Structure formats: C-alpha cells, structure tokens
Structure 1
Amino acid sequence: MKILNGLIVLVLIFFSSCQSVSQKTNSFAKEEFKNWAPTPPMGWNSWDCYGPTVEEHEVKANADYMAENLKEFGWEYIVVDIRWFVENTKAGGYNQNDPKYVIDKFGRYLPAENRFPSAKNGMGFKILADYVHSKGLKFGIHIMRGIPKVAVEQKMPIKGTDGITADQIFSKEMQCKWLGDNYSILNKPGAQEYYNSIFDLYAEWGVDFVKVDDLSRPYHQNEVEMIRNAIDQCGRPIVLSTSPGATPIDAANHVSNHANMWRMVDDVWDQWNHITHLMEVAQGWYPYVGSGTWPDCDMIPLGRISIRGERGVDRMTRLTVDEQYSLLSFFTIFRSPLMFGGDLPSNDDFTLSLLTNREVLKMHKESTDVKQLFQEDGKLAVTSRNADSEVVYLAIFNISDDESPKEISVNLNHIGVEKGARITNLWTGENYGIVNSDFFTKELNRHASLLVKFWKQ
C-alpha cells in the first residue's frame, strides 16, 4: 500500500509539474507578441485617401514610393483598409443597401477581384503581399470584428470544427452600429475556431499586420482575447492593431497584454480640434507607452487626402504648416505608431521632409520615459529622454485658439537638464546656444510648437 501511495504521489507531482510548464509556456507565447513591434510601427494606410475603395494598383504605387523614399527612415508597413472584400464600394460612405461580398465556403472574406486582380484563382492577397515583401516592406489589412452576416444567413461551416456552422456562434447584440457587414461572435464552441481559420488564412497570404475595427467602443474583451489566441496559434508574427477609439482607460492593462497598438480616439482628420481632443485624451495613456505595445494617435492626415475618402473632397491637408509640425511633434514625442494617411506618390517636398527628419525619427524610435509636464491655459509640454546618449527631449505647444502668442516656460530642473547643455531645434537643426538658466522659455504663435533636444557636448 505504501508503494502504491508513493506512486500516486509521484504521478500527481508529475502532472502538476507538466501543468506548471504548460502554463508558463502559454504565458510566454502570449508575451512573445510584444517583441513583434519593439518600436512604434510606421507605415501607410489607405483609409484617409481612398476610404473603402482602394485598388491594387494604388496599393502598389504607395509601396513603390515607400520603398524608394521612406524605407531607409524606418517606414515599412503597407496597409489595405476597410472593405477590400466588397466589389461595389463607393467613396464618401458605404454601400449598405446591396453590397456584393466575396467570401469562401468557410465564411471568410476574400479580396474583390475587380479591385485586386491578383486575387483570382483563390490567391487572395498572397501575390500582393509578395510584391510588398519584394520591396523589403510589410503587408497589412483591415478587418471588422465578428462573423459575416452572409455566412450566418447561409449557415456556412466553420473550418476546423465537426459540423459547427456560422449561425450557431453569432449574436445581433453589440453589432457594429455604423457598418452592418458582420454580427458579433459569441464565446462558445466554434467561435475560437472561426477566428483561428481567418488568421490561418491571413498567415498563408503573408499578412504581417491586422487592424481590427469595432473592438474598442465598447471594449469587446472576449473577442480581443479570441483574436490574440488566433494570432498566437497561426504560426506567423502578425502585429495587432485595435480600432477605433476611444479605448476605455480601464481596459489599459488588458489591451496592453493583448494588442501591439490601440486607438485612443476616433478618426483624426485635418481639423485642429481633432488634434487638441487627442492631446486631452492622451493624458491618461502616458504610463502605457512602450514595451512593444503602443497607444495609437490614429493615422496622419497630411499630404493629399480624400481622393476617394470618407471626409470631404480631394485635397491637400487643411492643416497649416504650424499645425502640421505640431501634429507630428506630438505623435513622435508621444511615441505613437505612425501611419501616414495621404497618398504617398502625391507628396510635395514639404510633406516628404516631415516624414524623413532623422533627428525626429531617432527620438520617436529610441526615447523613453515619455511624460506630460503640464497641459493648462492653452499650453502643453511633453518630455522624453534617450537614456543611452543622455539627451533630453522637450516639446512645447500653444494649443489655444487665441490669436495672441503665448509664452511657454519649462523648469529644466524638473526634466534633468543642467546648465551648460546645448539646445538644438530637432526640425530645423538650429542651434539655440547653451542652457544658462533654470527655465527654458519661448513665445509661440497660435497652434505652433517647438521640439528641441538638450545634449552635452
């Protein structure tokens, strides 16, 4: 009996040890995704200029431009945004009356061949992704949360299950209010398998980045977790971006343990009040910047936008020069992902210069300890540092709508800058001399900003 009891104890210890190892392995697998975006992702997204209508030749043209002009500066993602699976899309909104979906027998959307000719013969996005990869870039797509309505209506089977069909895992509750392509997915048998099946397909295509829409308002925790699991099991590192905002701050710990980037606000367009709203909301997100997971300021609405977009007519950005500098100064010092929204081949020299400033992009890539110093009376100050080089960065903004300039002053003792440090404007390279006071003070015009570094000789 003693021998039998001893064997039972050994067996229990063995299974307990195996379970502990399994738990650690699963935990490691879930943490590994943070290594896929060690610095904030940088790329181009088709939404601001093409809405739901982008075509393959336009995607390739933007990839060609990025490879030739931006790749060396760290720009690498080419992302096809919303509704690439609808044949009869339209600019300035969505065709919701009679959308012609392209979908396979397992309820998985496929690219519309009239817009993406290389998708024929069941190739999906494989050939387009290969083209982007051949340029040394990475390929991404946008999808909606949930399962297609047409898959539910036709009771399509879910790949990887024993007879479960789409109509068994859907719910009309919490359906997206602004686009009715999909239903919500219930957390029941077949749900995880459906998400697994679509990410397995994306992995076969060679997708490197997926932006998942309608996840954040309200925050759909179950589906976020299913998507995380689906990516982890697909065998390909796919960066996960959740959209749109506002992601609730009380979900910060959860989203930062499941996604590489998440939207803080709704779409940011070329309107100054969109930028100031973003700055206001961002105040709660500074502690979550970094470690492979990034609060996302949204796309950059600069250059030529709305060629066939959702908001307004074909135009160059309506933001003034000062406002464009302010937008990018905030995005970069905050270390947001940078997803350019304009049509890259249409860039003028000024827009290109904004995207290729090595000093600004070095700060964006390498800085740490990002924090807001103050935001009051129409004044904003944000700082970060480069621990390796002992450089301290400072961005100050006049975000007021008052016509008169504002004097903005920062106590340098509060950011660890000592007297004798040199001061350089990051955008222009202008030398402002040496720190000889406890305060750095500048007068800024309405909506203007200043981005500087303090460094030792």
Structure 2
Amino acid sequence: MKSNSFLLIFLLFLPFACTQKQTQTETEETQDIPAKNVSFKDWAKTPPMGWNSWDCYGPTVKEEEIKANADYMAENLKDYGWEYVVVDIRWFVENTKSHGYNQTDPIYVLDEYGRYLPAENRFPSAANGNGFKALADYVHQKGLKFGIHIMRGVPTQAVEKKLPIKGTDGITADQIYTEENQCKWLRDNYTIVASKPGAQEYYNSIFELYADWGVDFIKIDDLSAPIYHKDEIELIRNAISNCGREIVLSTSPGATPVESADHVSEYANMWRMVNDVWDSWWHIRHLFEVSQDWYSYIKPGTWPDCDMIPLGRLSIRGEVGDDRMTNLTKDEQYTLMSMFTIFRSPLFFGGDLPSNDEFTLSLLTNKEVLKMHSESEDVKQLYFKDDKVAITSNSTTSDMKYLALFNLSDSVSQDVDVQFTDLKVDGKVKITNLWTGEEVGEFESTFSQELPSHASGLYKLEPVE
C-alpha cells in the first residue's frame, strides 16, 4: 500500500515535471534566437544616418580626423538627423597605407585575449589600455553616436600565438578557427567555426570590449559575399544581444544574396546590396538594377543598404583615385541622393565633412527630403524601362505621396511620366519639387517631366480639395 502511494504521487507529479522540463528547453532554445527575445530592430526604427571614414581616408584615418568630422557633424548636420561617426577598416594596424592594404608586414595591436585594440600612433587617446573609450566619449559629448568597422573572424596572430579566449576554461584561439573561406582580399583574420567550443565566447568577448568603449554601431566586413556566412552572423547577433549595449549591426559588403534576405533581416539592422559604390555613373546605374529585388524588405529596423554616399571631397588617402571633389555632376548627385532617400537606404556620407562646399551641404540638409526618408512607407518601384525609372512612397503622417522620376539614359533627354491610377491617386493633386520647394503645378490623371541625361526629379503630391 505504501509503495502504491508513492507510485500515485509520482504519476501525479510526472506531467508537471515534464512541463517544467519542456518550458526550460523552450527557454533555452529561445535564447539561441536573439531576434525573438531582443528587440534590436527598435534600435534603428528609421534608416541610420552618419559619416564613415572609408571614402576619404581608406584604412589610414587618424584620431584628429575623426574628431574634425564629428565637430562638423555636431555643428552642421546633427539637427537634421545625422548622428553616427564611424571609424572604418584596420584601426588596429600601426603601419597601414592608402591605395591598398599593407599585408606584407602589418603591425597589429591585440590584447592578451586576442582582441584588436586601436593603434596608439594613430589614436593617441587609446594609450594605457583605454581603447576607443575616450574617442567615443568625445563623440557622445557632442550628442552623436560612435561606430567602428571590423572583419569577421578571429585574428591570425591570435591563432598563431594561441591566445586564450576570455570567458572560457582554457580554450585558445587556435581551437576555434579554420582557414577555409578566409577573406580573399584581406588576410587579417581566419574564419571562426561556429560549432567549436569557444566560438561564441570569442565574439562575446569582443562585443563586451566594444560595449565598455561605448560603441553604438558596428560595420562587419566579409559577411555577405562571395559567401553568405550565416553561422558567424548568428554568433554576432548573439554576442550583441549579450553585451548589454544597443549596437546597430551593419553587414558588409554586398552583394548580399537575395535568397538570404529573410535570414539577414532577422539578424542585422542593415545589409549591403552591392559592393563599394564610388563616384562613377556606372555604380549609380548598378544600384537601380540591384535594388529591384529588395523593395519588399524595406522595413523599420532592417534596411537594405545602398552603401556610402561618395560625394564631397574623396580619397584624401583613399582607395580609388587621388584627392578630389566627387566626379559626379550636379544632376548625378541629385539622382544619387534622390535614389538613396526615397529608397530609404541608410545614409552614410563618405566625403570629408569639413571640406564640404555649400552645394554638398545643401544635399545633406534638405528638411523635406529627409522627412520623406525618415517618415515614409510602402516604397515601390512603379517601373524600370527604356532607361526610365519611377519610384513612389507614402507619407505616414498625412495623405501625401512621394514620387521620384529618373532618366538613366547616357545620351538623351526624355519625358518620364506616371499615371495617377498607378499611384492610386484620385482627383487633382498639387505637386511640389522637394529639392527646390517650388510648386510645379496642379495635375490630374497624369504627370510628366522632361529630364536631361542622368537627371531626376523628386516630388511630393498633395490632394487638392
């Protein structure tokens, strides 16, 4: 009888115990999918806007140049929504060079756990183990946000020296790597094998460091092409979720494969659609071609990325060409900015901000254009034919619509038009040029503009009562 009582109690308790175990298992599984328990998409509800050092300084940027661009942004651009200041590639190499990378005898700076540190000869405030903390504080004090670039993977030097991985019990860097799929154009790092013990801990350790520095934005290279590194992207997402700081994630470069669109939009805030965009018309034309696959993925918190804006003064010590003002004509610059803004791409200016002329500054401070970029929704391409493109979006604060028309022809002026039925517009509308603020007129059923070669028009359409 006594044994039967114990059996009865056991049978009564068993469902509860199984439920508890199942709940625990489900919780553990959920923790492996950070996109479901950490609202990282809330960190970039509108497309991020800022400045990046790559187009003007390549891998050679110095602390005083970062500060100068931050100063300019705080004084001239912050009130318009520009906020990120990003140190691009190889800030941890002492003897770097422009027009390519020094891969012959690079002098890396790493800590005892195999984590890169800023080169003090370029970033003096990093002395005494301070890292980027002082520079990030400088940027934050101006009401801006601070970002950095890294390559995916574990440093080759950390592997060679068998440096320990912080947060593990004796695991070293040589136990988590493979030479397979190593970046072909920059050999600083090896691939991390996601399934290896210590792999997640290594990424956790670097993001713990970046959180301590005050990093708000990170651009990570060699994630998307020629191979989409799904496993490392997931390690990175987990590490950001675990670091205790809101760090916006940008995957780079492109082209991100469209077949991975659902995955990347659940793990990154922004991702490159193309490789580097420079100041040549071919690059701009190519963006129109590639972007056609990505309109349905333009959503708050996750943004297809057109790359940096190659305007203003470029290649002071850059990678493509010599020190110059952008090679794009004014019509081409308007076309680039109209495309980037109506498409709602993240906006990261690539030129040296203190060198801006008035025209370049005007492209970055048009309140109506930036309002469209920040507040619109339902971005759609109406058509792309005969070197003509029409793109539209809707205002989220009124019944206003936006419209961008483009003539991509290399040689002729063309009439670019839209039918109001395609815009789902009934009745008469007042059309205003967003760039100039001038009223174009009132129109009903159709709208057409003659545009020169490589030129564009950007408009808002308001119903006439």
Q: What TM bracket, shorter-length normalisation? A: over 0.9
CA distance in 2, matches of 1:62, 1:33: 27
Corresponding residue for residue 198 of structure 2: 190
CA distance in 1, matches of 2:132, 2:10: 59
Q: In structure 2, give the amino acid aligned to 1:145.
A: R
Corresponding residue for residue 409 of structure 1: 417
Asked if 1:433 corresponds to 2:453, the answer is no
CA distance in 2, matches of 1:22, 1:237: 22
Corresponding residue for residue 284 of structure 2: 275
CA distance in 2, matches of 1:414, 1:406: 20
CA distance in 2, matches of 1:371, 1:199: 37
Corresponding residue for residue 156 of structure 1: 163
Corresponding residue for residue 304 of structure 2: 295
Corresponding residue for residue 46 of structure 2: 39
- Match for 1:99 among 103, 106, 111? 106
CA shift in 2, pair 1:23/1:155, >3 Å: closer
Asked if 1:9 corresponds to 2:18, the answer is no
CA shift in 2, pair 1:27/1:258, >3 Å: closer
1:412 Cα deviation after fit: 1.1
Q: Compute the TM-score of the two structures, normalised by the length of structure 1.
A: 0.98
- Match for 2:146 among 126, 131, 139? 139
- Match for 2:389 among 380, 387, 393? 380
1:400 Cα deviation after fit: 1.4
Q: In structure 2, give the amino acid aligned to 1:420.
A: K
8 Å Cα contact 1:261-1:295 kept in structure 2: yes
CA distance in 2, matches of 1:163, 1:291: 42
Unaligned runs of 5+ in 2: 1-6
Q: In structure 2, give the amino acid aligned to 1:413.
A: T
1:31 Cα deviation after fit: 4.6
Provide runs of 4+ in structure 1 moved above 3 Å. 17-31
Corresponding residue for residue 184 of structure 2: 177
1:15 Cα deviation after fit: 2.6
Within 5 Å, give how 1:106-117 maps onto structure 2.
Answer: 106-117=113-124
Q: In structure 1, give the amino acid aligned to 2:352.
A: D
Q: Identify the range of structure 1 (161-170 vs 410-419) with the bigger mean alpha-carbon deviation.
A: 410-419
Unaligned runs of 5+ in 1: none
Corresponding residue for residue 201 of structure 1: 209
- Match for 1:65 among 72, 76, 100? 72
The number of aligned residues is 455
CA distance in 2, matches of 1:364, 1:387: 11
8 Å Cα contact 2:35-2:267 kept in structure 1: no
SS class of match (1:59):
helix
Asked if 1:445 corresponds to 2:443, the answer is no
1:9 Cα deviation after fit: 1.5
1:439 Cα deviation after fit: 1.3
Identity %: 66
CA distance in 2, matches of 1:287, 1:189: 38
Q: In structure 1, give the amino acid aligned to 2:432.
A: T
SS class of match (2:137):
helix
Q: Compute the TM-score of the two structures, normalised by the length of structure 2.
A: 0.96
Corresponding residue for residue 363 of structure 1: 372
Q: Identify the range of structure 1 (298-307 vs 2-11) with the bigger mean alpha-carbon deviation.
A: 2-11
8 Å Cα contact 2:34-2:238 kept in structure 1: no
8 Å Cα contact 1:419-1:434 kept in structure 2: no
Q: Please give the per-residue CA displacement for 1:118-167, whole angstroms capped at 9, x wherever unaligned.
A: 00000000000000000000000000011101001111111111111111
SS class of match (1:198):
helix
- Match for 1:261 among 270, 274, 295? 270
CA distance in 1, matches of 2:186, 2:10: 63
Q: Identify the range of structure 1 (417-426 vs 78-87) with the bigger mean alpha-carbon deviation.
A: 417-426
Asked if 1:78 corresponds to 2:90, the answer is no
8 Å Cα contact 1:418-1:435 kept in structure 2: no
1:10 Cα deviation after fit: 1.5
